[in-house]
Structure 1
């Protein structure tokens, strides 16, 4: 699986609200626990790129209402959510935050700010941000008959996922970790931010990204400001 090529294509799809341009393999390579323990590199690959594959599948689900003619839409949605939640539950220590503070915690920042979610390595950051991105897209396209009683309450909140995407992006200052996927994911989540303090943090974050990477996202930010104005008017 060419992860770099998928990142570019997925980033384009997320930024343009369109479908993936590449076909997806029907299944992700299966590795046993013995395989993952025996080869640390395989473990990192598996837990970093499985969310990439699942996020790409979520994009195809959202953009193709008739993409699964032989299976009910509800069943496909539940399967994707269950696979994402399984990844989240089973991710090893290396893919869990080294620090996580909710907005209600005294140290997490001002009211209505973002939680603090920090990762010790780029693979953990990448995998978790794409997990939240896939969940955000699926929850925004949730079938009316989908029952979520079996899932953790926070995991079924689009806002919870959007805020974590923003937090991960805002605390990522490593140039090598930024790619089109993560930038487009950050833009997608930022659209849901309704409070001025959050919006200012997002704009400051994109300025830091420009300084670190040299990417100019001014056009995207103009559209983002326009969407925020529409939210204020509703």
Structure 2
């Protein structure tokens, strides 16, 4: 069900379920989550008021799925009213801190969902796809140092090693980097799956499978609970690309660990993937 954002109220007034969860937070916890709440604030990005805490992608966990769903289903134009896509992206880039850079990934994902839902002509869809994909790729290539991995290793080689560790190692030092990079790979994967025939991606564009493998690697290697709850959907999207049984096993084990350690339900998506993989085997 779409969420309608009212313009003249605070974010916790828009989402009653979020408001009540805020009552249980300490001042420090509220500060940490204000980076997420800024995305529910009309015009907050263009108003130049920086968030005080960590990013929407990384730090909202208990009850935070509600805010993430509201952000994705709300009107993304309210964040940067009257701005073109390029102007809006520049506003995010000028904001200080890696938390707002992670919020830019959330914004670009919302732009992607809006693009997929539009009824533009083929020519207009292609134009918008090229523009948005360029911004998504620029997010990755121009990341600040805090958003880059501190350890990156390819997947193990050899038959036994590749079965026990089928994905690369990809470790980040902070929650905004974990979820921001995972959102980037998710957006890039979905954009490539929806690429129009006449679109011209950059020559160094990575393939869909590369993005899918890194989505899985991020969840396996980084155990921040808030980021784990954000990863349920990206893992499901990436899992549909995987064909090897070792990859399937690693994804299902990750889902089990997320639910066991955080209490966040994952079995519904794990079951969806099992059904999808069974269809592939039958085919």
- CA pair 230-32 structure 1, distance change in 2 beyond 3 A: closer
Aligned to 1:158: 208
- CA pair 195-44 structure 1, distance change in 2 beyond 3 A: same
Determine the C-alpha separation between the residues in 2 that align with 1:211 and 1:189: 21
Q: Kindly indicate whether residue 148 of structure 2 is the aligned counterpart of residue 99 of structure 1.
A: no
Residue of 55, 72, 90 corresponding to 2:109: 55
Could you list the per-position Cα deviations for residues 46-77 of structure 1 after superposition, in whole angstroms to 9, with x for gaps in the alignment?
A: 3111011001111222233x1x4697111111
Determine the C-alpha separation between the residues in 2 that align with 1:142 and 1:59: 14
SS at match of 1:178: helix
Task: Trace 1:21-170 onto structure 2 (pairs within 5 A).
Answer: 21-25=73-77, 27=85, 28=88, 30-31=90-91, 42-64=96-118, 66=119, 68=120, 72-103=124-155, 109-110=161-162, 113-148=166-201, 150-154=202-206, 157-170=207-220
SS at match of 2:231: helix
TM superposition score normalised by structure 1: 0.80
SS at match of 2:170: strand
1:220: how far off?
2.1
1:133: how far off?
0.7
Determine the C-alpha separation between the residues in 2 that align with 1:125 and 1:43: 15
Residue of 253, 260, 268 corresponding to 1:219: 268
Equivalent residue pairs, number: 214
- CA pair 51-151 structure 1, distance change in 2 beyond 3 A: farther
Aligned to 1:17: none
SS at match of 1:117: strand
Could you list the per-position Cα deviations for residues 135-158 of structure 1 after superposition, in whole angstroms to 9, with x for gaps in the alignment?
A: 11100101011123x33142xx11
- CA pair 185-10 structure 1, distance change in 2 beyond 3 A: farther
Aligned to 1:207: 256
- CA pair 164-30 structure 1, distance change in 2 beyond 3 A: same
- CA pair 105-89 structure 1, distance change in 2 beyond 3 A: farther
Aligned to 1:230: 279
SS at match of 1:86: helix
- CA pair 117-83 structure 1, distance change in 2 beyond 3 A: same
TM superposition score normalised by structure 2: 0.67
- CA pair 11-101 structure 1, distance change in 2 beyond 3 A: farther
Q: Which runs of 5+ in 1 are unaligned?
A: 14-19, 37-41
1:231: how far off?
1.6
Determine the C-alpha separation between the residues in 2 that align with 1:190 and 1:32: 30
CA contact 2:92–2:104 (8 Å) conserved in 1: no
Structure with larger Rg: 2
